[in-house]
Amino acid sequence: MQQSEAFTEGHARALLKLSNEENQLALMQQIVAQRLSVRQAEELASKVKAAEDGTLETVAQTAPPHSPELTDLEAHFREALMVKVHLKYNAKGKGTLVLHFNSQDELENLYNRLVKHEE
């Protein structure tokens, strides 16, 4: 997601699921800070809606915030691989690295950068 795409119409539509304005604002800040995709924002909004009780803690508890270091690491991956990158982790330190591609060419470029260098 580019800087100018930090919050789009799709993100705003996800917020409309919430009836509590405080939760909407908190979720909007979380979407921008964590650079969530629209799909991730929709999933998070659904979780908040299910647990909505009017407190900001509900939003904070549904997904752990990215540390500044993790956000920087995502940015470095994005710059190096030139694709959208998402890092997920849990409290045990395990996680997932997701690389998004939009075409067969992008997938082949990723493959060449990551695998062909090792052959």
Q: Quick check: 118 pLDDT over 60?
A: no
Beta partners for residue 96, in sequence order = 88
Q: Quick check: 2 pLDDT over 50?
A: no
27, 59 Cβ separation under 8 angstroms: yes
User: Between residues 92 and 7, which one has the greater pLDDT?
Assistant: 7
pTM, whole model, 2 decimals? 0.43
Give the H/E segment covering residue 23: helix 21-34
Q: Angle formed by the axes of helices 21-34 and 38-51, to 10°?
A: 150
Copy the structure tokens of residue 80: 């190096």
Which pLDDT score is estimated for 10? 92
- Banded model confidence at residue 3, pLDDT cuts 50, 70, 90: very low
